[in-house]
């Protein structure tokens, strides 16, 4: 990248947030801090009103604006691909705002870029994503509210569903992070009910309320370590289980909370594929179906189901 293009890109970066650190500019363009200082000085000499906070970073003075940013076709294509991913991997609130933003972006494109998007749009797909539950109990449209709570550092209250014991609990939570793993968005926060950091799947939240009271996130500086430990323990295992037709109808909604991916209808049963990070919980869930469920794989899960059934049988034999 030549210097003129870099100066233009730096100017756009300065407009992207309230304060930009010199180190951020250095890392983005692979230049030294000394070169960053020279580029900032060059922009100032060109009449751009750049302010600085000692030890913090640079910012554009209030009231200064540039002509609307234009996209080239490669950038427009990248936005299209990101939108396809977001459409499959976010909730209703984000999709609504994303569609609105995309209309605005498309309106700003030149004819050439618009034609480029139209020529590739129908040939880009995101496959093998979980099907939404369509369960009215779980509206799954809280990601925007969670973003707002994170920004304002507000305590939130919600009912949370636990698949392990099939119950709801009401929680007051200090939201600290949103992260995507294991095919779902997760809220990491300090749960006041448990008095500890907890991981909440956003699609298991019901009746979310942003409270007026705020909290100090500096009290939870260790939460990133907690996130790393959660993700490290979330390695997914593929599971295949057959349920007889009656049981399959019964779990039509519940299966999504167990990591359901896809299914194949057979004559008297339905073979389902799941991805789970907790084989123990999955095994305990399966034994509630008795002979209505059969594990095809993995062998480790099948053996654990057998062990649990044998333990239960021994327990009843002892009492007799």
Does 298 sit behind a cis peptide bond, omega within 30 degrees of 0 on the bond before it? Answer: yes
Residue 174: CB atoms within 10 Å? 22
What is the pLDDT at residue 148?
93
Burial pattern 223-254, b for ≥16 Cβ within 10 A else e, equals: beebbeebeeeeeebebbbbbbeebbeebeee
- Top pLDDT among 167 and 205 is at 205
88 pLDDT band, cuts 50/70/90, is: confident
| Residue boundaries of the structural domains of the chain | 3-60, 73-123, 143-232, 237-319
233 pLDDT band, cuts 50/70/90, is: low
Residue 2: CB atoms within 10 Å? 6
For 93, the 3-state DSSP assignment is: helix
- Indicate the fold that domain 143-232 takes in CATH: SH3 type barrels. (2.30.30)
Q: What is the rounded average pLDDT for all residues in the chain? A: 86
Q: Does domain 3-60 have CATH number 2.40.50.140?
A: no
Burial class from Cβ neighbours inside 10 Å (0-12, 13-18, 19+) for residue 271 reads middle
Whether residue 203 contacts residue 137, with contact meaning beta carbons closer than 8 Å, is answered with no
**164: DSSP letter:** T
Identical topology for domains 3-60 and 237-319: no
Class of the domain covering 237-319: alpha beta
% of the chain surpassing 90 pLDDT: 43
The overall pTM is greater than 0.75 = no
């Amino acid at each position: 990248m030549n210097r003129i293009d870099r100066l233009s890109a730096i100017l756009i970066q300065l407009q992207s947030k309230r304060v930009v650190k010199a180190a951020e500019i250095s890392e983005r363009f692979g230049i030294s801090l000394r070169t960053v200082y020279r580029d900032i000085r060059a922009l100032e000499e060109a009449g751009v009103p750049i302010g600085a906070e000692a030890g913090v970073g640079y910012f554009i003075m209030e009231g200064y604006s540039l002509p609307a940013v234009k996209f080239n076709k490669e950038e427009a294509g990248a936005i299209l691909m990101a939108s396809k991913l977001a459409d499959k991997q976010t909730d209703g609130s984000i999709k609504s705002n994303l569609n609105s933003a995309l209309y605005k972006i498309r309106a700003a494109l030149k004819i050439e870029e618009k034609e480029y998007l139209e020529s590739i749009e129908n040939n880009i797909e995101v496959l093998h994503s979980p099907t939404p539950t369509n369960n009215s109990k779980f509206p799954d449209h809280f990601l925007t509210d969670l973003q707002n709570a994170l920004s304002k550092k507000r305590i939130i209250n919600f009912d949370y569903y636990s698949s392990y014991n099939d119950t709801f609990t009401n929680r007051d939570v200090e939201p600290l992070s949103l992260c995507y793993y294991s095919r779902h968005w997760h809220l990491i926060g300090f749960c006041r009910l448990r008095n500890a950091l907890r991981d909440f799947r956003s699609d298991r939240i019901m009746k979310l309320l942003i409270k007026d009271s705020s909290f100090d996130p500096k009290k939870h500086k260790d939460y990133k370590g907690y996130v790393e430990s959660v993700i490290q323990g979330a390695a997914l295992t593929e599971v295949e289980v057959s349920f007889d037709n009656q049981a399959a109808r019964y779990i039509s909604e519940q299966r999504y909370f167990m990591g359901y991916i896809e299914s194949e209808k057979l004559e008297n049963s339905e073979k389902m594929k799941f991805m789970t990070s907790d084989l123990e919980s999955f095994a305990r869930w399966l034994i509630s179906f008795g002979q209505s469920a059969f594990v095809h794989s993995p062998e480790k899960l099948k053996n654990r189901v057998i062990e649990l059934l044998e333990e239960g049988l021994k327990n009843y034999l002892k009492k007799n």
